[in-house]
Structure 1
């Protein structure tokens, strides 16, 4: 399991269920500050798996740099990878429905699951 932790957030990967969990409030200053998370996502995308779950159900805030980081990741993998991406989100967290729908516009075969 890979684990990235800051003052108000935690991002970790569970290999057993192929899930990247995002938790807390993720408001880093620049896209460059997101590089450990970008590296984690890239390592997963380049591994020999065909499915990854991105679980945002416990991520209460994500700033524009974080949304840019996710968008860049999706753009990077959409043409190069056969990776199926399932996004698990919450309708009760205001930023998620609108912002995560934009990821689906970038990669139409993303599956969005709201719980």
Structure 2
């Protein structure tokens, strides 16, 4: 079973300015009716890298959040269709330890009796 969430955001004017590096997986012209391919971006947060993919569009932003231990690749067939039908920017990401994102170790348990 695959679980996930879809979130739409109204403001598309805030591009990810803090991306540490990015590498294109492929490109397409944004806009409704045209297939979109996403670009891989990596950001670093507290020393750990997080991967996210952006299919650039116009006007709206839709964020697809994977669940059930899946990474962003679960959305690979939906992103081009969603972008083509809506013209929206579509963003997916890999949670820590999944896909291309780094594993973030759990904090040590609290010390008891000290």
Structure 2-normalised TM-score? Answer: 0.30
TM-score (norm 1): 0.29
Q: Pick 1 or 2: higher relative contact order, CA cutoff 8 A, min separation 6.
A: 2
Instruction: Name the structure where helix makes up a greater proportion of residues.
Output: 1
